[in-house]
């Protein structure tokens, strides 16, 4: 038997106003000892660190100044904690969990105002260099007496902080002031600098000039989206085209809005040089940028437990992939024995009893850490039980993974099958479950395919999000109903939500539940012939007041949205896992701009998903769109709001 983690500590993004930050660690089997490490060394309790078994608490202290450093320590240093678990001489260490303090610094002191002149019909770029912030800010702009707080088809708030105005007109002329908004802190800072835009009509040809282009080198994490910004001015209005040198733009994974190139779900093959070229009748101008694809460390082949007789050689192999190149570190029962980026093979000659225990391989780069472990058992032999002598260890350079290993895409888990593979017909109870209804006989020869077993995520202490899918074929569904019942209560009837949920909607928020209560859910469909049928019942879900894992703290950022048909909008977003908390997917909330009604919700599964098509929309109608990410513990803060119009 060896120690195992039930819950490992995860990085925490915190507000100073929260007063304290808590890291948690649970392990098995019973009797496992839990210790805590700070930056690789045993934690020493003091006035700002308190340890109590499974919990390590950081007392954040009082604010010193606007820099948001606490009175006890400087959180801008690399501060991380690990949980070390011990059981019968075997030791296992968790991955590092960082303490990240949310910050929002002010804009630099007042500087001279900027005057910008734009030709009507060109793209105007209102520059903004946002202040340092964790997480990254979303910019807004004061314009004359109004606020530009969301992107539209013509005005785009870019991730760089700038505002781009396509097909600029005289109505866009005026005074702009940049505002930086930190969505996690829910705080804003306003620049003292004013940008005054002047718009003039073209009178004579103007040669093309590129006024905005990417840096010479940019980077994006594998699977994420990135926008390469490019804007040009001139008359006639310049045309901007993008090319990839020595290759092609990724088919089906890029879009151009204005002069900007938006790459979706970047892959290793997207790395290279991208060329932005602006041209009009007066000439052409070009800029280039090198795109580097970064990747979180991944251990390509898991370590395996080993049972050896004393005197044999022990060999462990930990091939890794990642960019920047990961640094490898080997631990034996919690003690570091090798720390060298080139050594992915560990060789222990003439193994003895003292070499038994838990071995761990850690691979780290700027994006994160991955680790794996193996238990080595040594039997018989005459070797002594002296203290571990780490000079016995050796290593060799592993073959290049480019030659040996290939990448594997992560499998996507499909929806649940019907319960026991059988269809079960149940009539829909009356609202609020006050009376039971008799089962209704279904029309003969008609196939009724019910919705899937629902998945449940916590939204708050009294609400959950219910998600389901609908199979293809069978009789069309007119609408569905969400039903739930509390488990463990006598004579607990199924409760039915009053609202008729459209067939294309596959998620619904159920509110007014009891904190601490245990519930089951199911989805009942009403078909075009007015028959109804309930799907499989969910697993039991307990609505914990203090869930066992952390919910996501920051939300995604919507980068771009465009109409792809009169009834559909393609949405693209970015999500940076600042606090390393696992997410299950994303909620998309949308409503018609001209209404102040309830947002409709779409659920998108998959932590690495970065785009989705919202369907069943009305033609020629503007929509406000915002997002959240979620896991079983709850939802994040909302994203920025993006407004766009169907065709």
Looking at residue 63, its pLDDT comes to 32
Using one digit for the tens of pLDDT, what is the confidence trace for 117-154? 999 999 999 999 999 998 888 899 999 889 998 888 89
Q: What pLDDT is recorded for position 414?
A: 31
| 105 backbone φψ class: left, alpha, beta (φ>0; ψ -120 to 50) | beta
| Predicted confidence (pLDDT) at residue 395 exceeds the cutoff of 80 | no
Cβ-based burial of 411 (10 A; exposed 0-12, middle 13-18, buried ≥19): exposed
Beta bridge partners of 429: none
Q: Which two tokens stand for residue 246?
A: 């020595």
Classify residue 464: in a domain, yes or no. Answer: yes
Q: Which two tokens stand for residue 552?
A: 């996501």
Q: For position 112, what pLDDT does the model report? A: 86
Are residues 115 and 97 located together in one domain of the fold? Answer: no
Are both 112 and 140 inside the same structural domain? yes
The pLDDT tens digits of the residues spanning 335-365 come to 998 655 457 889 889 999 999 999 999 999 9
Number of domains in the chain: 5
Is the pLDDT confidence value at 574 over 90?
Answer: no
Indicate if the pLDDT at residue 445 is higher than 50.
Answer: yes
What pLDDT, on a 0 to 100 scale, did the predictor assign at position 342?
A: 52
- Whether 393 is covered by a domain: the verdict is no
How does pLDDT run across 588-638, given as a tens digit for each residue?
A: 999 988 776 788 888 888 888 888 999 888 888 889 999 999 888 888 888
Per-residue pLDDT averaged across 506-520, rounded? 90
59: enclosing H helix or E strand: strand 55-59
Q: What is the 3-state secondary structure (H, E, C) of 377-432?
A: EEECCCCCCCCCCHHHCEEECCCCHHHHCCCCCCCCCCCCCCHHHCCCCCCCCCHH
CATH code (residue 585)? 2.60.40.10
pLDDT beyond 90 at 419 = no
Same domain, residue pair 474 and 531: yes
Last residue of a domain, one of 509, 543, 577: 543
Q: What is the largest CA-CA distance in the chain?
A: 95
Looking at residue 18, what is its pLDDT? Answer: 79
Q: Does one domain contain both 26 and 54?
A: yes
Cβ contact 141:210 at 8 Å: no
pLDDT for position 65: 37
Whether residue 178 lies inside any domain: the answer is: yes
At 631 the pLDDT is 87
Q: Return the pLDDT at 128.
A: 95
Phi (first) and psi of residue 461, to 5 degrees: -65, -20
- Regarding whether 109 and 96 lie in a shared domain, the answer is no
At residue 548, the pLDDT reads 67
Q: Tell me which residue range forms the domain holding 374.
A: 300-379
- Residue 104's H or E segment, with its range, is strand 103-104
Task: State whether 603 and 640 are in the same domain.
Answer: yes
Within a domain: 444: no
Shared domain for 111 and 193, answered yes or no, is yes
The residue-averaged pLDDT of 406-415 equals 28
Q: Which residue has the tokens 């459209």?
A: 502
Q: Which residue has the tokens 């899937």?
A: 452
Beta-carbon contacts of residue 510 (< 8 Å; ≥ 6 apart): 463, 464, 465, 466, 482, 484, 497, 521
Using the predicted structure, report yes or no on whether residue 2 has a pLDDT greater than 80: yes
Classify residue 404: in a domain, yes or no: no
The answer as to whether 257 is a domain residue is no
- 181-190 average pLDDT score: 90
Residue where a domain stops, chosen among 172, 203, 234 = 203
The DSSP 8-state label assigned to residue 43 in this structure reads -
Question: Is 86 in the same domain as 145?
Answer: no
pLDDT at 579: 66
CA distances from 215 to 34, 259, 360 (A): 47, 15, 39
Residues 96 and 116 both lie in one domain: no
Which string of DSSP letters, residue by residue, matches 255-322?
Answer: EEETTEEEE-S--GGG-EEEEEEEEETTEEEEEEEEEEEEEEEEESS----EEEETTSPEEEE--EEE
pLDDT at 438: 45
Domain limit, last residue, from 543, 566, 584: 543
Cα three-residue angle 491-494-497, rounded to 5 degrees:
145
Same domain for 145 and 97: no
Q: How much is the pLDDT for 381?
A: 57
Confidence of residue 388 (pLDDT cuts 50, 70, 90): very low
DSSP code of 72? S
- For the segment 44-58, the average pLDDT, to the nearest whole number, is 86
- As a three-state string, the secondary structure of 557-588 is EEEEEEEEECCEEEEEEECCCCCCCCCCEEEE
Residue 582 lies in a domain: yes
Same domain, 97 and 72: yes
User: CA Rg, the chain, in Å?
Assistant: 29
Verify that 112 and 177 share a domain, yes or no: yes
Indicate the average pLDDT of the chain.
Answer: 83
CB 505 within 8 A of CB 498: no
Contacts 24+ apart (CB under 8 A), 404-407: 404/319, 405/300, 405/301, 405/319, 405/321, 407/268, 407/321
Check residue 581 and give its pLDDT. 80
- Write out pLDDT tens, residues 187-207: 999 999 999 999 999 989 999
- pLDDT (tens digit per residue) in 237-268: 999 999 999 899 998 888 899 999 999 889 99
User: What's the pLDDT tens digit per position in 468-495?
Assistant: 988 888 888 999 999 999 987 766 789 9
pTM above 0.85, yes or no: no
621, part of any domain: yes
How far from chain centre, in Å, is Cα 325?
Answer: 23
């Amino acid at each position: 038997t060896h120690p195992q983690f039930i819950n490992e500590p995860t990085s925490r993004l915190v507000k100073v106003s929260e007063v304290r930050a808590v890291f948690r660690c649970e392990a098995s089997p019973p009797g496992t000892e839990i210790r805590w490490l700070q930056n690789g060394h045993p934690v020493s309790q003091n006035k700002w660190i308190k340890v109590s078994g499974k919990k390590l608490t950081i007392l954040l202290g009082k604010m010193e100044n606007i820099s948001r450093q606490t009175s006890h320590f400087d959180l801008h240093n690399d501060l991380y904690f690990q949980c070390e678990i011990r059981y019968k001489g075997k030791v296992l260490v968790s991955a590092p969990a960082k303490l990240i303090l949310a910050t929002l610094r002010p804009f630099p002191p007042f500087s001279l105002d900027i005057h910008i002149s734009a030709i009507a019909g060109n793209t105007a770029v209102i520059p903004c260099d946002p202040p340092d912030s964790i997480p990254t800010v979303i910019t807004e702009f004061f314009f004359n007496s109004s606020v530009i707080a969301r992107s539209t088809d013509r005005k785009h708030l870019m991730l760089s902080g700038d505002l781009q105005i396509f097909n600029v007109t005289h109505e866009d002329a005026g005074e702009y002031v940049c505002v930086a908004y930190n969505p996690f802190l829910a705080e804003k800072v306003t620049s003292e600098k004013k940008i005054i835009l002047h718009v003039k009509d073209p009178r004579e040809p103007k040669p093309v000039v590129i006024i905005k282009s990417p840096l010479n080198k940019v980077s994006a994490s594998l699977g994420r989206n990135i926008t390469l910004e490019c804007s040009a001015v001139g008359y006639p209005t310049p045309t901007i085209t993008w090319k990839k040198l020595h290759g092609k733009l990724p088919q089906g994974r890029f879009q151009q809005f204005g002069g900007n190139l938006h790459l979706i779900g970047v892959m290793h093959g997207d790395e290279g040089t991208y060329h932005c070229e602006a041209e009009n009748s007066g000439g052409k101008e070009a800029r280039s940028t090198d795109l580097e694809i970064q990747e979180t460390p991944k251990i390509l082949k898991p370590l395996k437990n080993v049972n050896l007789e004393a005197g044999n050689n022990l060999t462990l192999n930990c091939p890794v992939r990642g960019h920047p190149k990961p640094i490898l570190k080997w631990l034996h029962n919690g003690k570091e024995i090798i720390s060298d980026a080139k050594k992915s093979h560990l060789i222990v000659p003439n193994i003895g009893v003292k070499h038994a225990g838990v071995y761990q391989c850690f691979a780290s780069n700027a994006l994160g850490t991955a680790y794996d472990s193996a238990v080595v058992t040594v039997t018989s032999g005459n070797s002594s039980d002296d203290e571990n002598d780490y000079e016995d260890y050796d290593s060799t350079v592993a073959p290049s993974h480019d030659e040996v290993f290939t990448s594997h895409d992560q499998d996507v888990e499909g929806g649940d099958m019907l319960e026991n593979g059988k269809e079960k017909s149940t009539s829909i109870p009356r609202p609020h479950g006050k009376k039971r209804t008799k089962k209704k006989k279904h029309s003969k020869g008609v196939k009724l395919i019910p919705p899937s077993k629902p998945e449940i995520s916590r939204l708050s202490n009294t609400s959950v999000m219910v998600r389901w899918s609908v199979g293809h074929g069978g009789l069309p569904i007119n609408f569905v109903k969400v039903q739930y019942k509390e488990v463990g209560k006598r004579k607990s009837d199924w409760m039915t939500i009053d609202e008729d949920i459209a067939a294309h909607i596959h998620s619904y928020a159920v509110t007014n539940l009891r904190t601490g209560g245990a519930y089951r859910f199911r989805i009942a469909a009403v078909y075009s012939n007015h028959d109804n049928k309930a799907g499989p019942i969910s697993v039991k879900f307990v609505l914990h007041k203090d869930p066992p894992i952390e919910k996501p703290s920051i939300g995604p950022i919507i980068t771009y949205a465009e109409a792809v048909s009169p009834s559909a909008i393609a949405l693209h977003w970015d999500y940076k896992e600042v606090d390393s908390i696992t997410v299950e997917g994303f909620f998309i909330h949308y409503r018609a701009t001209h209404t102040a009604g309830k947002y409709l919700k779409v659920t998108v599964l998959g932590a690495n998903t970065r785009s989705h098509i919202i369907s069943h929309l009305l033609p020629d109608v503007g929509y406000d769109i915002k997002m959240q990410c979620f896991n079983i513990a709850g939802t994040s803060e909302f994203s920025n709001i993006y407004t766009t119009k169907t065709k």
